[in-house]
Amino acid sequence: MGSCFSSSKVSGSNSNTPSTNNTATNTNTTVNVHPNRRETSKAPSTTVVNSRNQEGSNYNRGKGNINQKNQQKQPRNSQQNVKPSSRRQGGVIPCGKRTDFGYDKDFEKRYTIGKLLGHGQFGYTYVATDKSSGDRVAVKRIEKNKMVLPIAVEDVKREVKILKALGRHENVVQFYNSFEDHNYVYIVMELCEGGELLDDCQKTVGIREDAAIVVPQMLKVAAECHLHGLVHRDMKPENFLFKSTKEDSPLKATDFGSSDFIRPGKVQDIVGSAYYVAPEVLKRRSGPESDVWSIGVITYILLCGRRPFWDKTEDGIFKEVLRNKPDFRRKPWSNISNSAKDFVKKLLVKDPRARLTAAQALSHPWVREGGDASEIPLDISVLSNMRQFVRYSHLKQFALRALRSTLDEEEIADLRDQFSAIDVDKNGVISLEEMRQALAKDLPWKMKESRVLEILQAIDSNTDGLVDFPEFVAATLHVHQLEEHNSAKWQQRSQAAFEKFDVDRDGFITPEELKMHTGLRGSIDPLLEEADIDKDGKISISEFRRLLRTASMTSPTVRDSRGM
């Protein structure tokens, strides 16, 4: 089976009580097809309220309202097909029975269903055999009769769409096909026989620095989701399976039933599993950053065998997540590398703006030292920052360039990786075509060629038609991270950037100093007014720092020396 990455005993950060004492609140069954393992139900993580309908075993674990009663389990005889009633009480035909999903209709001709692997609220997952090739696959069978409302139908369609989009990724369970008949929808997927991420772990708590081998695989899944405009929303160990029992078996994400497309500004449902839920999810503001938090929780558990946030009740867990920081003082943290601790801390930052992204985390020294960080994916936040840079006022653009010049190589190592990923021909600069290709990989954002040119011209401060690394860094800096991760260093860096404008060192940037530094023509008042909060006609250090933090927009009345 895959390498051992943790201990099988997982306790709360404030308790040594094994996780098996926690009360299971859903009906999930562990998928265990390895012959030496017991096929028994397992008490999974406490589940948060989830308004969605969910199905299935580890390939799609059932999740529902935390107060929901356990569903009655279907008999294990997988060959016995009991025809469900077409009508529910009250004579209403379920939406699923009235829907043609557009999937293939010949499932029974192509596959033979075998052993039951697991079940959830609306579906059952089986081993099945391809009649033509003899290959074994996993099949999730979802009952149409239980898709009462249109949202349940949309959930199934969305899951199939997501699996199709992600199924070629090396760390995502491969999607083969979808079928339907009068009673069921069938989703045919790759069969993973290596067990869950935590199945093979030791029975005593120990240091697992080799977690750096498996954590990058989870981060790559998250990064791929985010480039497709998706948030996974339920990253946890139970939703990752090893492909095989081999020592070097890849890890596969199997459950995308809670996943959804990113909708900025939309109030989100509270979805996920209590121990792994991010603070912003509890405030109904989830996004890609929430997946990274969950991976941070998993990494904490893999390294020390305890949960970072623990309580006997669900409300207590939520309070821990919102109010407290993880404990890095108790054993075995004293024996774990500072690099590993730094990695976990930067994933468990409560402010999502200051948290590492999935791609950034893959550039972290701990991952580089202990695992495989090759082929780091593009970072959606870097692409977003480039799109945003063109909208900033000239003053903020100049301020960011000044801040960039104060940073050392270690502080921008992740941006070096991103620059290298975009610079396809490795000539040290990013061309218009390379920028177009990079921005196109952020699939939800489809940009016209003219818009890409506008972005390049905004970043290209020396007007040579190309973006070099210093220009790239200025446009893609994560200011909130700089401030959160090391406040003392942030104070020094921002002060140094400020002093590039404050020539006479009197503690203020005057209109004359601003014009001298920027080379802008015409009245400087619009730029000054943007940053001069107290309206005293000059910019203080606190006002300068606020400018760096905030998304200041373009002031159209000011022109630079290029006539832009």
Q: Rounded distance, CA 210 to CA 238, Å?
A: 19
| Token duo for residue 239 | 């939703």
Helix (H, G, I), strand (E, B) or coil at 395: helix
* Cis amide linkage into residue 332, ω under 30° from 0: yes
Q: Are residues 26 and 96 in the same domain?
A: yes
Q: How many domains does the chain have?
A: 3
Q: 252 lies in a domain?
A: yes
My answer on whether 412 and 543 are in the same domain is yes
Q: Please report whether residue 231 resides in a domain.
A: yes
Alpha-carbon torsion, ordered 55, 57, 61, 65, to 10 deg: 70
Residues 174 and 214 in one domain: no
The CA dihedral of 102, 108, 111, 115, to the nearest 10 degrees, is 110
How does 406-444 read in b/e, with b if 16+ C-beta sit within 10 Å?
bbeeebbebbebbbebbbeeeeebbbbebbbebbeebee
Place of tokens 């200051």: 354
Cα angle: 154, vertex 160, 166; to 5 degrees: 130
The domain boundary, picked from 345, 370, 395, lies at 370
The conformational region for residue 379 under phi > 0 = left, psi -120 to 50 = alpha, else beta, is beta
- What's 84's DSSP letter? P
What is the C-alpha to C-alpha distance for residues 323 and 3, in angstroms, rounded to an integer?
Answer: 34
Is 140 annotated to bind a ligand? Reply is: yes
The pLDDT, as a whole number, for residue 257 is 83
Domain ends where: 189, 223, 256?
189
| pLDDT digit string (tens) for the chain, length 564 residues | 444 333 334 555 543 333 333 333 333 333 333 333 333 333 334 444 443 444 445 665 444 333 333 333 333 433 444 444 555 555 689 999 999 999 999 999 999 999 999 887 678 999 999 999 999 999 999 999 999 999 999 999 999 999 999 978 999 999 999 999 999 999 999 999 998 886 644 433 444 556 888 999 999 999 999 999 999 999 999 899 999 988 889 999 988 888 888 776 554 677 778 899 999 999 988 789 999 999 999 999 999 989 999 989 999 999 999 999 999 999 889 989 999 999 999 999 999 999 999 999 999 999 987 655 567 899 999 999 999 999 998 899 999 999 999 999 989 999 999 999 999 999 999 999 999 999 998 888 777 778 999 999 999 999 999 999 999 999 999 999 999 889 999 999 999 999 999 999 999 999 999 988 888 777 888 888 889 999 999 999 999 999 998 854 443 333 333 333
Domain annotation covers residue 17: no
Strand pairing category for 184-189 and 123-130 = unpaired
Instruction: Give me the pLDDT at residue 49, please.
Output: 44
Cβ neighbours of 267 (radius 10 Å): 9
Q: Is residue 110 part of a domain?
A: yes
Same domain, 513 and 399: yes
363 shares its domain with 392: no
360: CB partners within 8 A, 6+ apart: 379, 381, 414, 478
Residues 226 and 184 both lie in one domain:
no
Q: What is the pLDDT of residue 210?
A: 67
407 shares its domain with 276? no
Quick one: three-class SS letters along 171-235?
Answer: CECCEEEEEECCCEEEEEECCCCCCECCCCCECCCCCCHHHHHCHHHHHHHHHHHHHCCEECCCC
Q: What's the pLDDT at 264?
A: 61
How far is it, in rounded angstroms, from Cα 141 to Cα 303?
Answer: 36
User: Considering the domain boundaries, does residue 10 fall inside one?
Assistant: no
Residue pair 20/123 in contact (Cβ under 8 Å)? The answer is: no
Q: Which of 306, 337, 370 is the last residue of a domain?
A: 370
Give the E-state strand segments of 229-329 in sequence order: 230-231, 240-242, 251-253, 260-261, 306-307
Query: Which residues contact residue 91 at a Cβ distance below 8 angstroms, ignoring those fewer than 6 apart?
Result: none
Q: Is 454 part of a structural domain of the chain?
A: yes
Q: Which pLDDT value is given to residue 59?
A: 67
Q: Which residues on adjacent β-strands are paired with residue 180?
A: 185
Same domain, 276 and 390: no
Q: What residues have CB less than 8 Å from 88, skipping those under 6 apart? A: 94, 145, 148
- Which positions are annotated as active-site residues? 234
Positive or negative: CA dihedral 459, 409, 328, 335:
positive
Phi, psi for 15 (deg, rounded to 5):
-155, 155
Question: Which domain range does residue 172 map to?
Answer: 22-81+92-189
| CATH for 47 | 3.30.200.20
DSSP 45: -
Beta bridge partners of 187: 140, 178
State whether 153 and 132 are in the same domain: yes
B/e letters for 36-49, b = 16+ CB within 10 Å, e = fewer, are ebeeeebebbbbbb
Going by their DSSP bridges, the two strands 136-143 and 11-12 should be labelled as unpaired
Closest Cα partner for 298 from 204, 225, 368, 361?
Answer: 361
Maximum C-alpha span of the chain: 86
- The total number of residues shown for the chain amounts to 564
Residues 387 and 507 in one domain: yes
Query: 470 with 531, same domain?
Result: yes
Residues 429, 504 within the same domain: yes
Q: What is the pLDDT of residue 90?
A: 56
Q: How high is the pLDDT of residue 408?
A: 93
Residue 77 included in any domain? yes
CB 387 within 8 A of CB 445: yes
Closest by Cα among 229, 367, 216 to 292: 216
Domain CATH for 453: 1.10.238.10
φ, ψ of residue 236 in degrees (nearest 5): -160, 160
pTM (two decimals): 0.80
Sign of CA dihedral 111, 113, 117, 120: positive
The contacts found for 426-435 with CB under 8 angstroms, 24 or more apart, are: 428/468, 428/469, 429/466, 429/467, 429/468, 430/456, 430/466, 430/467, 430/468, 430/472, 431/466, 432/456, 432/465, 435/386, 435/467
In a domain, 87, yes or no: no
Q: Which residues are 251's β-sheet partners?
A: 242
- Residue 220 structure tokens: 């790559």
Q: Which of 476, 555, 467 is nearest to 518 (CA)?
A: 555
Which CATH number does the domain housing residue 364 bear? 1.10.510.10
pLDDT value, residue 278: 94
